[in-house]
Amino acid sequence: MMEKFNLRTTQTADKLAAPILTEFKEKYGIIPNFFAALGIDGASLSGYLDFEKTIEDFGSLTERQRELISLSVANYNQCHYCVCGHTFSAKKIGLSSEECADAQQAIADHPLEQAILSLSRAILEKKGNLSQVDIETAMFHGLTESQILQVCSWTALNTFSNWVNNITQPKIDFPKVDFA
């Protein structure tokens, strides 16, 4: 039997995580279970949020592109929590159910989005050891060196969140969606 992790609350979190979880509770009325799980270690929670915010604020990938990557990575890493959560957030920004399911399989209709998903999948499959062809293909479709690193960053950040969820197994608190 697998050991059950105790998700943190504002009362049970460490001194670094407690104020962050309090902020989530005040902002959303709940603490999403992923953040309650990540709140088991305040340093991990704080580092994750800082990394995410920096990429979102200063990177050039759009919210849509980031959600596509998130869905693809979640499916690749078999994180059911993240497939459900990112399908929910992707639909909120206008992606269709079909686009979400396709993204899980690293498929997109738009050539730039397909290049981003193919690059992210190659990063996962090759553990970052991309070939010259992988790089040239990404650049041919318009990705800059900076964007290639942003795809890598977003892929890694999502892999981390997938692994946290796969380890801690928090209850899914979004509408459930099947793996594509």
Residue 2's pLDDT is 58
pTM for this entry: 0.96
How many helices (H) and strands (E) in the chain? 9, 0
Domain ranges of the chain: 17-57, 61-159
Provide mean pLDDT across the span 5-27.
Answer: 97
**Residue 154 amino acid letter:** W
Measured distance CA(16)–CA(68) in Å, rounded: 31
Residue 46's pLDDT is 98
1 pLDDT more than 90: no
33 pLDDT more than 60: yes
What confidence tens digit (pLDDT) does each residue in 101-154 have? 999 999 999 999 999 999 999 999 999 999 999 999 999 999 999 999 999 999
CA–CA distance from 157 to each of 141, 167, 178 (Å)? 23, 16, 22
Pick the CATH number of 61-159 from 1.20.1290.10, 3.30.70.360, 3.40.50.11610, 1.20.1090.10: 1.20.1290.10
Tokens for 16, please give them: 């670094």
Measured distance CA(138)–CA(135) in Å, rounded: 5
Residue 12's pLDDT is 97
What confidence tens digit (pLDDT) does each residue in 48-92 have? 999 999 999 999 999 999 999 999 999 999 999 999 999 999 999
Q: Which DSSP helix (H) or strand (E) runs through 85? A: helix 80-92
